[in-house]
Amino acid sequence: MKPSGGGMRLAAFAAALLVGAAVAADTPPVASPDPGLLEFLGELAGEDALFIQYTTTREAKRAAKDAVGVPGAAAPEPAAGAVAWETLDAPRQQLLAGQADGWAALPPERQYALADGAQRWLALDGIGRAQANDRWQTWQSLTPGKRERVHKAWARFRELTPEQQQAVRTAFMRFKELPQEERDWLTERWRQMTPDEQVRAVQRRQAPGPQPGAVDNRPCPSCR
């Protein structure tokens, strides 16, 4: 069965981001988190990079547009300012003990990310911590360019209203529920493309569709 264009677009992200299988329920928790993991939790709330990339797709934008709510009306996020070491509670100070001596010299945005990430880590159970670690490993595999695009996509997503954010998450879950055979087919098709063909495929899915009655002559041999 040949999947829809939207499915091809999402499988492209899945292959490019090297997203693995979901964490099993009996996966043991990560005992001592790396500071980089805590920073990742603070910067991106521990979100799956595939999901954040999905928010840039035409399908996600359509879901947000159709949702109840006004764009830009979301509650403002706290500013990522400096965090004094003395203002951290004891559990976070213990978790960040290795950063104590040089804390004052850290950039304000990194102080905020580490402090917020430590708080998120402490609130997670064992399964949540294992999942966070898994997502961080994926994050580390991304190139600097991909990380920058994910950061920008996350900033845009946070500007959506709660209703719009939920609509995008629901649309993403529908993608994840595609039959494994279909997802495998899409991933293999993406891997067989040359880099230029991959770029054209992504651009094709991002560009507005042709008007009713018009002939779509956009070049993209491998994704027709």
In this predicted structure, what is the pLDDT of residue 59? 79
In this predicted structure, what is the pLDDT of residue 199? 61
In this predicted structure, what is the pLDDT of residue 140? 92
Do the domain assignments include residue 48?
Answer: yes
Which one is predicted more confidently, 210 or 122? 122
Does the reported pTM lie above 0.75? no
| Counted domains in the chain | 1
Q: State which amino acid sits at residue 133.
A: N
Distance (Å) of CA 118 to CA 33, 95, 97: 9, 7, 11
Do the domain assignments include residue 213?
Answer: no
Which one is predicted more confidently, 1 or 152? 152
Q: Of 103, 116, 112, 60, which is closest to residue 83 (Cα–Cα)?
A: 112
Q: Are 110 and 9 in contact (CB under 8 A)?
A: no
In this predicted structure, what is the pLDDT of residue 139? 93
Do the domain assignments include residue 201?
Answer: no
Write b or e for each residue in 108-117: b if 16 or more Cβ atoms lie within 10 A of its Cβ, otherwise e.
Answer: eebbbbbbbb
Q: Which range, of 22-31, 111-120, 143-152, averages the lowest pLDDT?
A: 22-31
Sign of CA dihedral 12, 15, 17, 21: positive
Rounded mean pLDDT, 73-84:
66
Do the domain assignments include residue 126?
Answer: yes
Do the domain assignments include residue 216?
Answer: no
Helices 108-123 + 126-141 axis angle, to 10: 140
Residue percentage of the chain with pLDDT more than 70: 62
Domain around 123:
5-192
- The alpha carbon torsion through 99, 29, 169, 210 (nearest 10 deg) reads 80
Do the domain assignments include residue 32?
Answer: yes
Q: What is the token pair recorded at 24? A: 């099993």
203-224 pLDDT, tens digit each: 565 455 544 444 444 444 444 4
16-44 pLDDT, tens digit each: 543 433 333 343 444 568 999 999 999 99
Query: In the structure, what pLDDT confidence band is assigned to residue 127 with cuts at 50, 70 and 90?
Result: very high
Q: State which amino acid sits at residue 31.
A: A
In this predicted structure, what is the pLDDT of residue 223? 45
